[in-house]
Structure 1
Amino acid sequence: MQIIHAKQVLTPQGWQDDLEITIDANGRIAHVGMQRQAPTDRVSLLLPAPLNLHSHAFQRAMAGLTEARGPDPRDSFWSWRRLMYKFLDQLTPDHVQAIAALVFMEMLEAGYGAVAEFHYLHHDVGGVPYTNLAEMSHRITAAAEQAGIGLTLLPVHYQFGGCDLRALNGGQRRFGNDPERFLRLHQDAVAAVAAGPADFTVGIAPHSLRAVDPDGLATILEQATCGPIHMHLAEQVAEVDEVVAHLRARPTEWLLANHNVDARWCLIHCTQMTQAETIALAASGAVAGLCPLTESNLGDGIFNGTAYLGQGGTIGFGSDSNVHITLFEELKTLEYSQRLRDLSRAALATQDRSTGRVLFESAAKGGAQAGGRHCGVIEAGFWADLLGLDDDNQWLCNRQRDASIDSLIFGGGGQACISDVWSAGRHVVQKGRHFRRDAIINTFKTTMSQLETNI
């Protein structure tokens, strides 16, 4: 039994002071109440550790390598994408596991308690299946176990190079399956996850309306009836135009008209939606999965957060390309995008909750829903995904309640305040450091020395 004493705790009932949180041997919160026992740990500020709802772990190894202007003056997301395909022709299963372990460690040190890994690198170079069809899924699971992070594995169905059903080519071939083979791979991934910790789970991820045709989407949704459903949706103007040309509707419009989009769904990015689509998606109960740092890096556009939250929509946050893994900066970037677009301040605040609290509670609630994970609040029965912070420093200055979260997000030193992180009761970050930090970094550095990074 672990016993945490916290000076301030953000609970479902609001802020409470001087609480005791006990964690049972299974990694769940057993009790939240008055301090009554000698603690195993003390923290100044205790928050639910959100789930990172969208990650492509392997792309972390590309961080910083695609920032030069290419020969095409219209350099964009699509040129970045071509470079990504060249890079992944080098990756072996050992490389992928080492990169993923670093990513998951960095997520934990940034305050995330779990991750939904949108996993589409399935096969060997040229699209040749491994002897174990789900080899790469096993490697992602192994990396999550090594880091001690909670995992929702999302095997991705990816079949075509565009809405015209053109064949995959180059690096894309490592992603590709027809529906029948994908469903076999998914079952193998389910077995891989079942052999891991009790808090690991599996969902399904049709990649996008460009990469999966309507028949293939219907087939996999009919077969995979459990767990969350994630899909990229309406990220880029060119994507919207392509879907309109072939499906005669905008991506969000088409999906809502043709499928029962509900709370199982997490639609990633949604940076290119009309006002009507924004209202309709909010009403569906789905999570809008936002990745503001990656969306900024790729020039995707600005999510209509004020309208979406104003209509009662649910959002969560992910690190996507993992160009910079930092929970508090993701939250701040969304808020600042709304301010820049609308020439406003405190865009997402409400009358009773500050901007930072709205952002943080949205991240915790939306991440839990998107990951199909019983977490996101500090309450008995939930997984003990907890974020402990020190407030006696130059960034927080012992601030109280909403002001403490606002300072974490907008004051610039939020990550430096992180003292402890628990994932399903696993005390993986202590005094701001992951318990396997040095070994994971050394393996990652060895991996990077083996890769050609001049892409």
Structure 2
Amino acid sequence: MQHLWFESALLAEGWALDVRIELAGATIQSIETGVPAKRGDAKHGVALPGLCNVHSHGFQRGMAGLSERRGRPDDDFWSWREVMYRFLDRLTPEDVAAITAQAYVEMLETGFTRVGEFHYLHNDVDGGRYADPAETACAIVAAAEASGIGLTLLPVFYAHGDFGGAPAVPGQRRFLSDMDGFAKLVEASRAKLPADAILGIAPHSLRAVTPEELAAILPLADGPIHIHAAEQAREVEACVAWSGARPVEWLLENADVDRRWCLIHSTHLTDAECDRLAASGAVAGLCPVTEANLGDGIFPAIRYLE
């Protein structure tokens, strides 16, 4: 057993003084408050709970710097996406494990102790499935175990290139699944997870799944549900053209959005969408660095929290 003693700590019930924590490996066994340190305790000042990084694409850590500066006047999210497609074309599972482990270590160094890995790089470079459908999921698990970060694995279902079931483009071939293949991928991933990991599910976006596919995949896992929504103005316009509704509006009307859901970005919301999203209990998963780099916009956080 390891014992840590803190002058103060932020606990579930609030701030406490003279806090002694007993650890078994990485698991907290007991917490005492208002007690003196004992011989052998590691003494510290202030303890804060670790943060959860709600949205990670670990392999993208390896392309940092490739798209941080505008190369031409019309560079935007969509041109950034083309850079990303070219980068991932050459990655092996071993590359994914190494890059993701680096990203996870950096998260730990800045106070994040769990990560939600929105994992969509499933296929080999030619677009075919690996012999083990969870080959790249194993790389994510290896990175989490090597770094020590807690893992919430979110296998991504990605079947189409745009709203209405449009065909995917060649750069998306490493992401694609059909329904049966995705079910096998989820089960294979489940079998690879360590005991403290959580398995959720991630329909990539309304661009990449049809309504029928969305309804069919949600029962495959009972953990959290994450989806990209309303990151780009062009995405919102295309969703309206397809369905007559905005992405978040469509989800609130057609999916049982509740506390299990995390809508990533949710940048472009009407006041009504913001209010309904907050009332649903769903999380708005913000990515401030990405959203700033790509000029996406600013989430209406004050209204959401009020």
Cα pair 1:9 1:45 within 8 Å, conserved? yes
**Where does residue 212 of structure 1 map in the other structure?**
209
1:269 matched to 2:265? The reply is yes
Counterpart for residue 289 of structure 1: 285
Q: Superposed, which structure 2 residues align to 1:360-399 within 5 Å?
A: none
2:117 aligned partner, one-letter code: E
Q: 1:252 aligns with which of 232, 239, 248?
A: 248
Task: Give the number of the structure with larger relative contact order, counting CA–CA contacts within 8 Å between residues 6 or more apart.
Answer: 1
Inter-partner Cα distance in structure 1 for 2:204 and 2:257: 15
Counterpart-to-counterpart distance in 2, 1:32 and 1:153: 32
Instruction: Give distance in 2, aligned partners of 1:31 and 1:18.
Output: 11
**Structure 2 matches for 1:152-301, cutoff 5 A?**
152-193=152-193, 196=194, 198-221=195-218, 223-301=219-297
1:138/1:201 CA distance change after superposition, 3 Å: same
Q: Which residue of 2 aligns with 1:47?
A: 48
Output the amino acid matched with 1:47.
Answer: L
Shift of 1:128: 1.0
Matches within 5 A, 1:36-185: 36=36, 37-71=38-72, 73-185=73-185
Q: CA RMSD in A?
A: 1.3
Cα distance, 1:16–1:189 mapped onto 2, change above 3 Å: same
Q: How far 1:26 moved relative to its partner?
A: 6.7
1:22-33 equivalence runs, <5 A: 22-24=22-24, 27-33=27-33
Contact 1:126 1:171 in 2 (8 A): no
Deviation at 1:170, TM superposition (A): 2.4
The 1-side partners of 2:259 and 2:69 are apart by 40
1:159-211 CA-to-partner distances (Å, cap 9, x unmatched) read 00100422222221000001221111011000111xx2x21121000000001
C-alpha distance in structure 2 between counterparts of 1:26 and 1:240, whole Å: 43
Contact 1:5 1:18 in 2 (8 A): yes
Shift of 1:252: 0.8
- How far apart are 1:87 and its partner, in Å? 0.8
Q: Secondary structure at the match of 1:306?
A: helix
Kept after mapping to 2: 8 A contact 1:269/1:303: yes
Counterpart Cα distance in 1 of 2:113 and 2:39: 25
Shift of 1:13: 2.8
Match of 1:448 in 2: none
Q: How many pairs are equivalent?
A: 305
Asked whether the equivalents of residues 125 and 174 of structure 2 are also in contact (C-alpha less than 8 Å), the reply is yes
Looking at structure 1, the residues matched to 261 and 61 of structure 2 have their Cα atoms a distance apart, in angstroms, of 25
> What TM-score does the superposition give when structure 2 sets the normalisation length?
0.96
Distance in 1 (alpha carbons) for counterparts of 2:273 and 2:152: 28
CA distance in 2, matches of 1:25, 1:88: 35
Unaligned 5+ runs, structure 2: none
User: 1:110, CA displacement in angstroms?
Assistant: 0.9
Query: What letter matches 2:158 in structure 1?
Result: Y
Whole-Å separation in 2 of the counterparts to 1:256 and 1:70 = 37
**CA deviation map 1:266-292 (0-9, x unaligned):** 110111001110000000011111111
User: In the aligned structure 2, how far is the partner of 1:39 from the partner of 1:275?
Assistant: 55
Counterpart residue type for residue 215 of structure 2: A
Q: Which amino acid counterpart does residue 246 of structure 2 have in structure 1? A: R
SS in 2 for 1:64: coil
Q: Can you list the C-alpha shifts for 1:351-377, whole angstroms capped at 9, x where unaligned?
A: xxxxxxxxxxxxxxxxxxxxxxxxxxx
* Contact kept? 1:208, 1:233, Cα under 8 Å: yes
Label 1:112 to 1:13 Cα distance change in 2 as closer, same or farther (>3 A): same
State the secondary structure of the residue aligned to 1:20.
strand
Deviation at 1:25, TM superposition (A): 5.1
1:302 aligns with 2:298: yes
* Percent of matched pairs sharing the same residue: 51
Tell me the alpha carbon deviations over residues 216-253 of structure 1, each in whole angstroms, 9 at most, x when there is no partner.
101101x3241110001111101111111111101111
Unmatched 5+ stretches in structure 1: 311-455
